[in-house]
Amino acid sequence: MLPAYHNEPFTDFSKPENEAAFRAALDKVRSESGQVYPLVIGGEQTTLPDTFASINPARPDEALAYFANGTAAHADQAVKVANAAFQSWQFTPVDERVRYVLRAAAAMRRRRHEFSAMMVLEAGKSWYEADLDTSEAIDFLEYYARQMLRLHDASHLLYPYTGEQVSLLYIPLGVGAVISPWNFPNAIAIGMISAALVAGNTVVFKPAEQTPWIGYKLCELFWQQGIPDGVLNYLTGPGEVVGAAMVDHPGTRFIAFTGSKDVGIQIYEHAAKVHKGQRWLKRSILEMGGKDPVVVDETAGIEEAAQGIVAGAFTYQGQKCSAGSRAILVNDLYDNVTNRVVEIASKLTVGDPSEGPQVYMGPVIDQDSFNKINYYMEVGTQEGKLLLGGHPIETPSGGYFIPPTIFGDAAANSRIATEEIFGPVLTIVRSNSWEQALDIANSTEYGLTGAFFSNDRARIEQARKTFHVGNLYFNRKCTGAFVGVQPFGGFNMSGTDTKAGGPDYLLQFMQAKTISERL
Ligand code: NAD
């Protein structure tokens, strides 16, 4: 009997003891930086002479750790080892698999500040955002463990047949290639890994190149619980080399990927090809990008809408797939809402998040991202009216700092209003009516999250039906879905809508077997 599931509470950093504990965790993980980490395949550690550094984006000179540049040959070896481990892991009793996952949750809870502190350093998260990421990671572990107990035997849903005993069991698929992004380096990675493992699959895990450090630490959590060798393998290296080889491998049974649209599409195509020796059609679980709209009509509360827009656009520097990067405001309150949004955003603090909980926005993740966002800020000056920010912040540390940036009066079909920038850039679009605003909201190729601020009941009911996004919010920000409460995933080019943190998610990692025995 397990205690009831609940979301993991966040840390209150206004309490001096919490702030002190977090500073101690930052000191601890910083003191452990500079190490070289191996690949881990079948429990064996392989250190390679060819390495890459994971850096602190607030201080690019600070190398946090070094990681092996794995190759396609390592991917081949890892998939083979994972296949060998699958032969026994698939028959491990469900309650035993569940216990590994719950023990990992307990271990992460005990060391939660350490995990969060690593994200402050490696991913440039504010304390609050890092803490939220860790809470979500713990939620995924607790939630999927319970879902597996509920799902694995579905025989009670069958109708009886006289003279036969019938069963419906969900059994695992095989080896999963788990490929994660850097923006939720703890929660998303652990969500995909734990779902795969608890369902009885074995995993080859490749973290994003920007966040392999936290990726290693979260694998350690499972290894430290005594999970058998080969069940969870850790592979680092360039996505287009190692990740691609994992996807193409005939021994890979499924791919669980979260990342950009372009890479997701590429994986979808590659996974569809049947390679020599392959005995199944691969399953692809792909969660991708967004250009998430926040619609405000003339009946909405101005303050409420402005606060929601700012929080959705700028927390974690706008680097969330759920970020509300487009605000669509009807004419009547366009100026009032825009002015208030600019006013609130202009007061947000930007800096090195390791300095303290008062830093609201840290750096963007790396040089490539910094360049891309700068490029879009240039595009923005041609396509809209620059209302705030627009230029990077120069600091002695050379960190990748970009201030909250807002463009107003952009056309609904402009690039800054339709393409995912993945940085602290908000585009505001004017609309003549709430109906037109909803049409604009639905007009991009994405369909991940969306928010509608309105006090008109009929419009809200209409938007429930026609606002075409996987996660729809009324009168609140469009980020911050809770595991088990708001299952998360998007439509169209935002992915396969597998709804992480929802009651159906684990079914993606399993296949159903019907068994009938004549009595
Ligand atoms: P990315 O697509 O660049 O990389 C994601 C992962 O794919 C990394 O591990 C990378 O190494 C790997 N990869 C790269 N090329 C590959 C290839 N050819 N074959 C196999 N793997 C390859 O994305 P990112 O920059 O790490 O993350 C940001 C993106 O993720 C944004 O677009 C964001 O919207 C999206 N995202 C979506 C969700 C969601 O739930 N829908 C959640 C978080 C992030």
Domains (ranges, CATH) in the chain? 28-288+497-518 (3.40.605.10), 293-482 (3.40.309.10)
Q: How far apart are CA 268 and CA 254, in angstroms?
A: 11
Mutation test residue for ligand 1: of 52, 125, 179, the one with most atoms within 8 Å of CB: 179
Per-residue confidence (pLDDT) for residue 30, from 0 to 100: 97
CA dist 490 and 5 (Å) reads 25
* pLDDT, tens digit (0-9, with 9 covering 90-100), for 53-106: 999 999 999 999 999 999 999 999 999 999 999 999 999 999 999 999 999 999
Whether 187 lines ligand 1, by a CB cut-off of 6 Å, is no
**At residue 210, does pLDDT exceed 90?**
yes
- The alpha carbon of 258 and the centre of ligand 1 are apart by a number of angstroms equal to 5
> Number of C-alpha atoms within 13 angstroms, CB side, residue 65?
26
**pLDDT > 90? residue 1:** no
How confident is the model at residue 441, as a pLDDT?
Answer: 98
Q: Tell me the CA–centroid distance for residue 307 and ligand 1, in Å.
A: 29
Whether 258 lines ligand 1, by a CB cut-off of 6 Å, is: yes
pLDDT of residue 337: 98
Mutate to test the pocket of ligand 1, among 183, 236, 498 (most ligand atoms within 8 A of CB): 183
Per-residue pLDDT, averaged over 383-396, amounts to: 97
* pLDDT confidence tier of residue 362, bands split at 50, 70 and 90: very high
Ligand 1 centroid, distance to 257 Cα (angstroms): 7
Maximum distance among all Cα pairs of the chain, rounded to whole angstroms: 79
Mean pLDDT across 372-384: 98
Which atom of ligand 1 approaches the CA of 495 most closely?
41
Give CA–CA dist 480/503, Å, rounded.
18
Look up residue 349 and give its two tokens. Answer: 């603090």
User: How many Å apart are CA 321 and CA 471, to the nearest integer?
Assistant: 12
Query: Which pLDDT score is estimated for 250?
Result: 98
SS3 content of the chain, % helix, strand, coil (to 5): 40, 20, 35
Residue pair 424/275 in contact by the 8 Å Cβ criterion? no
Average pLDDT over residues 168-174: 98
Using a 6 Å cutoff on CB, does residue 212 contact ligand 1?
Answer: no
Percent of the chain residues past pLDDT 70, beyond the cut: 100
Residue 321 is a catalytic residue: yes
pLDDT in tens, 180-202: 999 999 999 999 999 999 999 99
pLDDT tens track for 265-321: 999 999 999 999 999 999 999 999 999 999 999 999 999 999 999 999 999 999 999
Place of tokens 């909405």: 300
- In the set 287, 383, 419, 420, the catalytic residue is 287
Instruction: Examine the pLDDT at 329 and tell me if it is beyond 90.
Output: yes
For ligand 1, the distance from its centroid to the CA atom of residue 297, given in whole angstroms, is 34
**287 is annotated as an active-site residue:** yes
What pLDDT, on a 0 to 100 scale, did the predictor assign at position 469?
A: 98
The three-class DSSP label of residue 382 is: helix
Which of the 8 DSSP states describes residue 161? B
Q: Which atom number of ligand 1 is nearest to the Cα of residue 448?
A: 41
Which of the following is catalytic: 129, 321, 419, 478? 321
pLDDT at 514: 98
Which ligand 1 atom lies nearest to the CA of residue 369? 25
pLDDT at 327 over 90: yes
Distance 317 CA to ligand 1 centre (A): 17
Instruction: Please give the single-letter amino acid code of residue 127.
Output: W
Q: Which of 321, 471, 478 to mutate to test the pocket of ligand 1 (most atoms within 8 A of CB)?
A: 321
Edge-first strand order for the sheet with 59-68 is 35-37, 59-68, 51-56
Ligand 1 pocket check for 83: Cβ under 6 Å: no
Residue 264 CA, closest ligand 1 atom number: 2
Question: Considering only CA atoms, which residue is closest to atom 12 of ligand 1?
Answer: 239
Half-sphere exposure of 185 (CA within 13 A, CB side): 30
